[in-house]
Structure 1
Amino acid sequence: MSSSSATTRPGDGRATRWAGQRERRRREFVEAALRAIAEHGPQASTAHIAVEAGIARPLLYKHFDGATDLQRAIADEAARRLAAALRPLWEQRGSAMRMITLAVDAHTGWLAENGNLYRYLNSRSHGGRDTVADVRTVLARQLTHLFEHYLKTFEMDPRIAETVAFGVVGLVDSCAAQWLENPHGVTRAELAAQLTRWIWRLLDDTLRMGGVELDPHVTLPPPPAL
């Protein structure tokens, strides 16, 4: 082995350790940013984030390639958490009413507990991406596959699945977002119950157009893994 190759090992090791440390620190700063946003709202500044992280503000950008990189990292983590909260959409089991209830409860519950973070995601473009729109699209695609499965099961035309899925996601997101800003005394439980009824009526009407009358409380055969 040549002496030159031997001397590169310590440097390579230091680079690996630095990369790992940088990634760990980035995660810590993102966590601090989420706490700052929860406390100060969607306009939380880098100064707020630095105070929450316990560091001087210039040190933030030692681990991020500018404000856009920091905002993108915050948005990515927020989207990950939102997707995790909406896990019931990926584990649909039971009756139609149970699946609707769980999904709506998960969405409105996350929104009620993370209102400032949702406002943050809606308040700006993060590295040219609309994070909330991206999440809505993922959820709608998931529901499209689910609706296609059941429409085929009931021997109905599955082509309407995508329109219905995007309609349901848009209904829940827009109504819940408006409620977040102006609840008018409506509790989250009341909102969730109303959205659940509206979604069922939309699905029931769609099924009846195909000649299917479904009891919303009857357990359905589980869909294939999505």
Structure 2
Amino acid sequence: MFELRRRLEILSALPKSIYFNFKVLPWKKAIRMPFLVYPNIKLRKLSKGVVKINSDLHPFMIKVGLVYNDDVPKINLGYISLASNSRIEFNGNAELSYGVIIKTCNNSKITFGKNFFCNKNCSFICSSKINIGNDVLMGWNINIRDNDGGNHKIFVEGNMKENKKPIYIGNHVWICSYSHILKGVTIADNCVVAYNSCITKSFIEKSNLIGGNPTRIIQEHIEWQR
């Protein structure tokens, strides 16, 4: 029964997947159908050349809007909007679950490493750069934002505060649910971000459990497995 349901879900995703692949990829790559885009994803701004895959192509290697039958609530439908002079790159296979939001602004770039997975209701809002390494695991309701949002300006002693800064997330990083990764943050390889954390500063040492309020190193020299 499960296998039949999964096949029906893939069948229902084919029209939007065909549209997405041929909208953003060159014809010779689009015909390989590397993206499987589920009907729950709303597509807005898309144009040829904004999406690039830096690996061998396989059918449905990147799944967007994947539905899991679990106890995680479905808060929002998914949404993708990519500015024409922005870029989103995938370095390998990836799974982005139901409710994912991806938005790129002018002159911005998001990179997803290979073997990437995020659970439901995660958002990636990019005005500068968001770089995510390989083997990154994300729980549900996570917000990755490299900007303060809007067109407002903040001044400190007469000097305008920078509105956007790049985010770098290393390899083999686990970000637990309800966490926020904000502008200018670097997270080193093999780290774990604790549940319900708001990360506003960088952690450049590897293999740490980080979290709390204010954010700090909770435990050093950790290891984790998927």
The two structures share one fold, judged by TM-score above 0.5: no
- TM class by shorter chain equals under 0.3
From the CA coordinates, give the structure whose radius of gyration is larger.
1
The structure where helix makes up a greater share of residues is 1
The normalised TM-score by structure 1 is 0.23
The normalised TM-score by structure 2 is 0.23
